[in-house]
Amino acid sequence: MIARVLVAFAAIAGLSALGAWLARHPGTVSVNWQDYTIETSVGVLLAILAVAALVLAAIVLALAWARALPTSFGRGRREKRRRQGYLALARGLVAVAAGDAGEAQRQARRADELLVEQPALTKLLSAQAAQLDGDDGAARRYFAQMLKQRETEFLGVRGLLTIAEHERDAERALALARRADALRPGTTWVVEKRFDLEVKSGEWRAAEETARNALKRKALPEARAKRLRAAVLLERSRAAGADGLKDKALVHAEKALYLDPNFVAASLRIAALLVEAGEARRARKAIEAAWAHTPHPLLAELYLRLDSESDPLRRLKHVETLAALAPDHRESHIAVARAALDAKLWGQARKHLKAAMAHGLTSGTARLMAELEEAEHQDGAAARQWLARAADAEADPGWLCTQCGAQADAWTARCGHCGAFDALDWKSPPRVAALAPAAAAEAAAKALPAESTAPPHGGGANSEAPKAALPAR
Ligand SMILES: [Zn+2]
């Protein structure tokens, strides 16, 4: 401010000094142009020149201002449109979240008109609004347009994937899941989706690779990724076995067990393959290792098959060695009781059956008690009583689907009934026999799916079933 005042003062002082100097040194200027002659003093000429310069400067400034005017006016207008466009976008997204298809589409159209420089965002809204309206065709068009830009490609792929799944186009869905995985490697939902689709289409080798990558990239929790891969490997082992490739079947099963040491279906598979191959020593070692943490009646059966040639007493001795690895487990007691019955050692059989029943009465143990009463005392009445109890007791465990409750003869990676992956668990079916017969069937139908999904799905097969009351003796 002060500087400006000083400049003004200096200018005024300069001009006054110039005026005074001109007054002291008068002179005339004459201009001759064709027939005209203009004569004037130097002071007047200088004044005319100064005025002309001022007018010229004013004209230049006015022109510059006039030129800038529409630009700034246009900028204001664009700013306003953009604000309104984002507002429409926000309202549209809220409408999508609220499930209001009509409002979503209205706002999508508005956002599309107003936000010309953000086609990606408005396309996403338009696509979601179309999907909400059930118009998969329009949604597909919008999503497909999003594939063309790198920034929106992933969103486009994701949208097309949901449509492909909606239309049950498994092949297309899998291709899109793989594209999404390539765009953003290690994204958890993408990995899960890809794995799920590969499993559903029976691409076991690809599914195993996906689970392996998930573990490497930490896309899934370590234990889960390992279990998924183990279950796939066991399925590959089944497939190799069916193709007659026994060695390959064994390698896959061993890898599965290495990934999840408590995977009883893998232990069973290894034991069965070794017994079948006549590798008694390896089979015995494998069964004993599994028995220590997951005793299983089928393991005991395979163990007994190893020396089916030898005499019952020798077999009992072997089974006792096995049982000693999990001394108070129900399956240990049942296995020894079974072998003792064969060896006609009634006292020992009774002792172990009692110990097994302390874990809850199952129809299997009740049937063994009936066999014992019949064999030891030829007591038909007592045997019949035990058989009646067997009908009421907790059913023997089997492979049950934790998703739909269906029972399976053998472990498979996918439930044969509902298709759920790695859902078969070794456990007792829910008890329904104790209910009145008519109500029982109805209750069973209702309770089965709900009850069967209730327990968390673990890898173990020796899940403890609810304890049944011991029969009065
Ligand atoms: Zn199922």
- Report the separation in Å between the CA atom of 417 and the middle of ligand 1, taken as the mean of its atom positions: 5
470 pLDDT more than 70: no
CB 165 within 8 A of CB 177: no
- Segment 416-420 mean pLDDT: 94
Specify the pLDDT at position 10.
76
450 pLDDT more than 50: no
Task: Kindly indicate the confidence band of residue 429, based on its pLDDT and cuts at 50, 70 and 90.
Answer: confident
- Report the separation in Å between the CA atom of 389 and the middle of ligand 1, taken as the mean of its atom positions: 30
Q: State whether residue 32 is helix, strand or coil.
A: strand
CB 328 within 8 A of CB 302: no
- Report the separation in Å between the CA atom of 239 and the middle of ligand 1, taken as the mean of its atom positions: 20
Which tens digit of pLDDT belongs to each residue from 143-159?
Answer: 999 999 888 899 999 99
- Report the separation in Å between the CA atom of 332 and the middle of ligand 1, taken as the mean of its atom positions: 29
How far is Cα 96 from Cα 114, in angstroms, rounded to an integer? 19
267 pLDDT more than 90: yes
How far is Cα 44 from Cα 41, in angstroms, rounded to an integer? 6
Task: Kindly indicate the confidence band of residue 1, based on its pLDDT and cuts at 50, 70 and 90.
Answer: low
pLDDT more than 70, % of the chain: 89
- Report the separation in Å between the CA atom of 422 and the middle of ligand 1, taken as the mean of its atom positions: 9
The residues, any chain, with a CB within 8 Å of residue 219's CB and separated by 6 or more, are 186, 187, 188, 191, 213, 225
How far is Cα 442 from Cα 432, in angstroms, rounded to an integer? 10
- Report the separation in Å between the CA atom of 414 and the middle of ligand 1, taken as the mean of its atom positions: 8
Specify the pLDDT at position 216.
93
- Report the separation in Å between the CA atom of 407 and the middle of ligand 1, taken as the mean of its atom positions: 8
- Report the separation in Å between the CA atom of 293 and the middle of ligand 1, taken as the mean of its atom positions: 26
- Report the separation in Å between the CA atom of 419 and the middle of ligand 1, taken as the mean of its atom positions: 6
CB 409 within 8 A of CB 238: no
459 pLDDT more than 60: no
Task: Kindly indicate the confidence band of residue 19, based on its pLDDT and cuts at 50, 70 and 90.
Answer: low
Specify the pLDDT at position 5.
66
Region of 408 please: left (phi>0), alpha (psi -120 to 50) or beta: beta
- Report the separation in Å between the CA atom of 97 and the middle of ligand 1, taken as the mean of its atom positions: 33
- Report the separation in Å between the CA atom of 404 and the middle of ligand 1, taken as the mean of its atom positions: 4
β-pair type (28-33, 36-41)? antiparallel
- Report the separation in Å between the CA atom of 336 and the middle of ligand 1, taken as the mean of its atom positions: 33
Q: If you write DSSP's letter for every residue of 408-446 in order, what string do you get?
A: ESS--SB-TTT--BT-EEEEPPPP-TTS-HHHHHHHHHH
20 pLDDT more than 90: no
- Report the separation in Å between the CA atom of 452 and the middle of ligand 1, taken as the mean of its atom positions: 10
- Report the separation in Å between the CA atom of 338 and the middle of ligand 1, taken as the mean of its atom positions: 32
Phi, psi of 311 (to 5 degrees): -80, 160
25 pLDDT more than 90: no
75 pLDDT more than 90: no
Specify the pLDDT at position 433.
46
Tokens of 34: 């064709």
Q: State whether residue 65 is helix, strand or coil.
A: helix
Tokens of 218: 């930490």
Angle between helix 363-377 and helix 330-342 axes, rounded to 10 deg: 30
- Report the separation in Å between the CA atom of 211 and the middle of ligand 1, taken as the mean of its atom positions: 22
- Report the separation in Å between the CA atom of 415 and the middle of ligand 1, taken as the mean of its atom positions: 5
Q: Which of 226-230, 381-385, 449-453 has the lowest mean pLDDT?
A: 449-453
First to last CA, the chain: 113
- Report the separation in Å between the CA atom of 236 and the middle of ligand 1, taken as the mean of its atom positions: 20
Q: Which residue has the higher pLDDT, 431 or 328?
A: 328
Most confident of 251-255, 438-442, 451-455: 251-255
* CB under 5 Å of ion ligand 1: residues: 401, 403-404, 406, 415, 417-418, 420
